[in-house]
Structure 1
């Protein structure tokens, strides 16, 4: 009968006290001696025979010891319970169990291993080798891996050097020499402050500068926690004669990632490896190395880039062309470092007769173009792909019969709005392509953009400006030339405005001109003005937002720089309508074009369900069309001129920056306020002119309006379909 049984109750002689060290929370390592012990033994913890596991005992002979202590052994055991444990370990053996008492305090790991080396003597390397197998077979934890690292430092023999390293996406290229492993797949342990497992796929090659039996090696470290070669201290591997260490050569070379594929190609040309490893290394060698390779293919496939722009904080916008009449190209992927985006699934194709003409006379490509369409162009926005400093940006084309081909990009950098507005000038608004580009590329890009809010640079006060007044006027100016003299004169002759504090917010770039004029006029008319210099202004909404944040008025009257006052008393009437609703609304006047036709006279909800929309009902009508109506609630107000609570403005985080035009920004703000319980009120009797922006070309304006409407519908269509009113 071979089964070893630990009896339920056993009388034993006094137990010896043994050294131990913890390995993580659930295991300990113990060292002791006895007369004999098998290779595998059951171990009971805290003297409880019902709580037992099987462990492996690593042994060595002790020639000078008494027979009862002739065999030294080392084994893993479960950690005793910290609160009620007895500190007793019971090892089952044929004949009788072995009872051990743990020392009151554990030994530090390093001291424990030093004591083991003294005790085991010449058998230490063999014992450690077995212990490493046991430790690596179990579930890893930091303390266990630390023990493995210390053991390897003690027993691993020199195995060669790593002389060259370089990062490559999710792996690390290594090159050096060794005499202790063959080409193919080798399991390693990587020392990098800690210790972690990895796999080396390597080939070998002959070197004249090495001794007999040593060869050069090259390959890729994979499945590795290390992300950069500079972290690697040494590599441990199991050779036929035990553990070996590849040291990192003191004068090692760290390659730029872009040069690693070339080193792999060189290694494959002069070295050998098993077929599976060769194929894996060959695939890695075909990665981008900085060269344009698509322009030199034998296949009729070519590509070019007209413009590539990194849209700050947002992604990459690319305008280019792909000539592929035989449709040999599969996936087209934009890459930078470990980031990637497959762009051919989302790009918008465009007709490019210039590309067709360029290749029509080339005998290599002309025959392939017969009866083919010429929509070779593409425009695409790759969201959230932002190259890290030093990382190249490139396109990878999977070409049938060739594998990957590459086209490096030299992108510029631009703020989101400026980068996207450039595209409008390249499009024909009458084409379906323009509509598709706006809806699928431009609008999503602007919605995804993380545009920094306008920032107040500095302020200058003229007169007795009271930032904490119950009510104040905020005027927002953009980069366009504005005539301040008539505006200040109209403010000064209005008795309801003259005593109010006035904030004038303008772009910092325009402030030298505007600031001096505003100071002179404010002093001349005796107005109380705060001049606010603002960074990041793209339109009057940005300036208005910065102005609101640069004061502490309870109630703010907003006046866009595009607005022109038509009559005195306008602000008083707006304020009275606002107070008539308990100061809980956005009160807006009628807005007029310069010919006295209606620009805005309330925004209304029309339609039902998914077809429901916000509609500017009276636009283009003569002013007489609205008659003598009184104030009435509407779906949304007009932020070119309005009165509202400053706190309400701030609670909805002001204007959204995900639109090109101020009209859509204002509509978005009023709907946010409506959703937050603040309705909009139209006050028909108050009339304000709003000057058209003549700087935007008509066809560009149509595309910008389409982009804003698309963005608005993406954000608000569902909410509007469920609104009442």
Structure 2
């Protein structure tokens, strides 16, 4: 198809940001107001703009080309497709500027009558000042400011300003041409931002006949009243602005709603009054759903906020007549529609509770119990920690509110949150990746203030311990006498120090039992009370600062030695190179693990290795798991991708570095693999010894009694692990 080359003179070309180029100039044929733009015939984007003919009959245009990554391109041909799909080629650009003042000057010098239309166009390039919207670029703001300076004329004053609880602004004053109803305005402070506005006029005897009083609500998070300089608006004959009256009144907090309510009766024009009334129906900290005469009720089971990440809301909405049009979570800087993506669940208890309520009589049908919901809302960075939030229910007539008291992200609250999420939801993968994963990661990264771990020496003293053995106990057991007895019966541990790390789940009688055993077996024991440790790895981290030996042996209470001398075998492995496929291993640092057997002596652990699938995805597999132990005959020590954190010997400093950068997981399983990978990332290696064998007893964990928690935590941990260890990194 033959191109039509436009005879055009590009007077100004300004790059507003990385993706947007604004063009102004003369042209001999009209351009589409909205169409496709092609760069060099291939790269597609959008063209928006307008054309006009001046008083001398010459055609002009102003438009924006929006193409992703435009700043990195140097197109030699720009084509615009019209409504019929025909291409119109623009002249090649020779001088692209980045200063928006160049465009303002060009418009003022060539087409001053078009400045108001240019300001209209610049407003279309501005995002509304609403929660979740990307802030406009500095150059877009400068273009808007420059055009407003040239095109906007004074028309009235702002006399009273007041803030609502959610950051919206009440404006009272007077003007001659402020448009009533709902439309956008531009608020000028040090910069300019676009805001939705609802306004109505009222009679004032002190004004000229062509002027009237004005009451308006500016939506969104508006600047503080003291920072506002002007409010620009589009009148019928061009752009005008309200200046700030020198003796203006700024109402105190909480006064704006009552002040506006007193004025509603005097507003003119029914449509405009209704618009302002809707805008003034704002949250003031009071629950109003229960006051509705309509069959609508809502209840909150749980609201949890992780500052900087988002909010989780769980509850129920009873709306058998379908009167609720939207459910929105609102707060300072946050406005998130929940009902579009929330997960519904059956709540027969809600149906039963309202079965006798006259308001719902005949409306609650048997089997229609899907009243429950769970929902998430991401929050932008920078919201204050003490920010208040609420739910807004939009109905056919008016709105209603429910305060949202949010719990802090304690371990118990996070566990309850996971328990409320349905792991069988078809969108669970998206929920984990978009909400649960980031929220739990942010919660785990938040500064903690746990009670300090306290060391209580027990038994005899060893001045220079051969090794520091850390036994983490967080599962509620009250007796590790068998573990201590087996270590006491092995000469390898005669000069070792044993650190029993008692986490938050340790039994209160554990310390007394350890003290008796230390005295009876003449062991050197340090009882480390770590009430903030929630799993074995947190307990290990709490005990590590108290370890005095250069090497640390991690030993789970579930691992029981079956022979003597196995510690010496682990020590020899880290002191000298070994044959076979680990000849290239460094002397140190090494994290070495023995073989762990089930109680029937089949193989439980013989090293973990990374396996790449056909699609390039990496998974980690336990080698020989479930095989008979005879399978290990004549096998040599081998380098593996991960050792067993249940029983591993490694340098203390290497362990400290690996723990310091440990990933955040809900279950202990991924933490062991994560620890080994961080050992390797710190320059260490992982080694498995087939000839050293210990028994690892199956133990019940708290997760075994909560299948839903186990499934949800596994889903979140899988996401977290993939975020910490992408396939490309692990495969390297």
TM-score for both structures, normalised by structure 2? 0.61
Q: Structure 1 pair 686/343, CA: closer, same or farther in 2 (3 Å)?
A: farther
In 2, Cα distance between equivalents of 1:629 and 1:361: 74
In 2, Cα distance between equivalents of 1:313 and 1:497: 48
Q: 1:169 aligns with which of 166, 171, 196?
A: 166
Partner of 1:289: 284
Alignment of 1:162-561 (within 5 A): 162=160, 165-173=162-170, 219-220=216-217, 226-227=223-224, 245-247=245-247, 254-256=252-254, 260-261=256-257, 263-272=259-268, 278=273, 281-295=276-290, 301-311=296-306, 314-324=309-319, 329-356=324-351, 374-384=369-379, 388=384, 391-399=387-395, 401-402=396-397, 404-415=399-410, 417-423=411-417, 439=432, 442-443=436-437, 445-452=439-446, 457-460=452-455, 462=457, 471-478=467-474, 480-507=476-503, 514-515=510-511, 518=514, 521-522=517-518, 525-534=521-530, 536-551=532-547, 553-561=549-557
Partner of 1:704: 710
In the alignment, does 2:722 pair up with 1:716? Answer: yes
1:540 deviation in Å? 0.9
1:539 deviation in Å? 0.6
In 2, Cα distance between equivalents of 1:358 and 1:435: 30
SS at match of 1:683: strand
In the alignment, does 2:613 pair up with 1:608? Answer: yes
In 1, Cα distance between equivalents of 2:500 and 2:600: 27
Q: Structure 1 pair 587/139, CA: closer, same or farther in 2 (3 Å)?
A: same
Q: Contact 1:659–1:708 at 8 Å: present in 2 too? A: no
In 2, Cα distance between equivalents of 1:138 and 1:295: 46
Q: Contact 1:438–1:703 at 8 Å: present in 2 too? A: no
In 1, Cα distance between equivalents of 2:429 and 2:222: 43
Q: Structure 1 pair 224/619, CA: closer, same or farther in 2 (3 Å)?
A: closer
Q: Structure 1 pair 243/619, CA: closer, same or farther in 2 (3 Å)?
A: closer
SS at match of 1:290: coil
Q: Contact 1:553–1:646 at 8 Å: present in 2 too? A: yes
Q: Contact 1:182–1:204 at 8 Å: present in 2 too? A: no
SS at match of 1:333: strand
1:262 deviation in Å? 5.2
1:319 deviation in Å? 1.8
Q: Structure 1 pair 490/351, CA: closer, same or farther in 2 (3 Å)?
A: same
1:497 deviation in Å? 2.3
In 2, Cα distance between equivalents of 1:289 and 1:586: 60
Partner of 1:585: 590
In 2, Cα distance between equivalents of 1:589 and 1:614: 18
Q: Structure 1 pair 201/425, CA: closer, same or farther in 2 (3 Å)?
A: closer
Q: Structure 1 pair 160/362, CA: closer, same or farther in 2 (3 Å)?
A: closer
Structure 2 portions without partners, runs of 5+: 1-143, 150-156, 233-239, 578-586
In 1, Cα distance between equivalents of 2:431 and 2:595: 31
1:559 deviation in Å? 1.9
Partner of 1:12: none
Q: 2:668 aligns with which of 651, 657, 662?
A: 662
Q: Please give the root-mean-square deviation of Cα atoms over the aligned residues, in Å.
A: 5.4
1:614 deviation in Å? 1.5
Report Cα offsets for 1:287-334 as digits up to 9, x if no partner. Answer: 323344445556665433222233577533222223445656554322
In 1, Cα distance between equivalents of 2:266 and 2:386: 31
Q: Structure 1 pair 269/668, CA: closer, same or farther in 2 (3 Å)?
A: farther
Q: Contact 2:499–2:525 at 8 Å: present in 1 too? A: yes
Tell me which structure has the larger Cα radius of gyration: 1
1:165 deviation in Å? 3.5
Report Cα offsets for 1:37-73 as digits up to 9, x if no partner. Answer: xxxxxxxxxxxxxxxxxxxxxxxxxxxxxxxxxxxxx
In 1, Cα distance between equivalents of 2:600 and 2:716: 30
SS at match of 2:645: coil
Q: Contact 2:574–2:592 at 8 Å: present in 1 too? A: yes
SS at match of 2:530: strand
In 1, Cα distance between equivalents of 2:548 and 2:164: 54
In 1, Cα distance between equivalents of 2:175 and 2:719: 66
1:393 deviation in Å? 2.2
In 1, Cα distance between equivalents of 2:439 and 2:267: 48
In 2, Cα distance between equivalents of 1:522 and 1:612: 45
Q: Contact 1:596–1:622 at 8 Å: present in 2 too? A: yes
1:254 deviation in Å? 1.6
Q: 1:645 aligns with which of 647, 651, 668?
A: 651
Report Cα offsets for 1:540-586 as digits up to 9, x if no partner. Answer: 11011222344465432212344444443232222222334522332
In 1, Cα distance between equivalents of 2:646 and 2:440: 22
Q: How many residues align?
A: 562
TM-score for both structures, normalised by structure 1? 0.61
Q: Contact 2:166–2:221 at 8 Å: present in 1 too? A: no
1:637 deviation in Å? 1.7
Report Cα offsets for 1:270-298 as digits up to 9, x if no partner. Answer: 4458966x566434313323344445556
Q: Contact 1:398–1:405 at 8 Å: present in 2 too? A: yes
Q: Contact 1:453–1:536 at 8 Å: present in 2 too? A: no
In the alignment, does 2:565 pair up with 1:574? Answer: no
Alignment of 1:97-136 (within 5 A): none
